[in-house]
């Protein structure tokens, strides 16, 4: 899967706060068996901590983000979850905040062949709302 395909896949999840719409299941499958996933769910909010130890060095680099988006609102001239390319731009709810960043670090982490320590990813389904 290319970085663009990953980005569009994430954008197509209707992950309105605090619903992840299956995005976390996809991410766990995408990262694969080399990654450990710790799940902490409370009051309808899903939190995920994915990590991969490359060696025993204590160095640890963690990427943090969220998979949820605010409601679509009015005024869309396209399907806000289609993630179509329009005039060379991928247009969808969450494309700027923050699924582009999620796609970037998920892709980088999955494809990292070597790291002197541990890489991890911390994601929530309720950054946009009243999560605990």
Q: Which of 20, 102, 126, 127 is catalytic?
A: 127
What phi, psi does 90 have (nearest 5°)? -75, 120
What are the strands, taking DSSP E only, across the chain? 36-42, 45-53, 60-66, 84-86, 89-91, 118-124
Q: Are 20 and 13 in contact (CB under 8 A)?
A: yes
Query: Is 29 considered catalytic here?
Result: no
Query: Is 127 considered catalytic here?
Result: yes
Q: What is the DSSP letter of 69?
A: B
Closest CA to 20 of 125, 132, 128: 125
Nearest 5 degrees, angle CA 29-CA 30-CA 36? 65
Q: Which of 68, 102, 126, 128 is catalytic?
A: 68
List the catalytic residues: 68, 127
């Amino acid at each position: 899967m290319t970085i663009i395909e990953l980005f569009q896949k994430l954008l197509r999840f209707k992950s309105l706060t605090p619903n992840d719409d299956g995005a976390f299941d996809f991410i766990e499958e995408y990262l694969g068996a080399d990654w450990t996933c710790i799940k902490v769910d409370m009051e309808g909010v899903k939190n995920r901590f994915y990590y991969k130890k490359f060696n025993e060095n204590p160095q640890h680099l963690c990427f943090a983000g969220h998979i949820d988006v605010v409601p679509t609102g009015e005024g869309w001239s396209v399907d806000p979850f289609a993630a179509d390319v329009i005039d060379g731009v991928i247009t969808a709810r969450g494309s700027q905040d923050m699924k582009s960043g999620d796609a970037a670090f998920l892709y980088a982490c999955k494809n990292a062949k070597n790291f002197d320590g541990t890489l991890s990813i911390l994601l929530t389904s309720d950054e946009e709302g009243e999560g605990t």
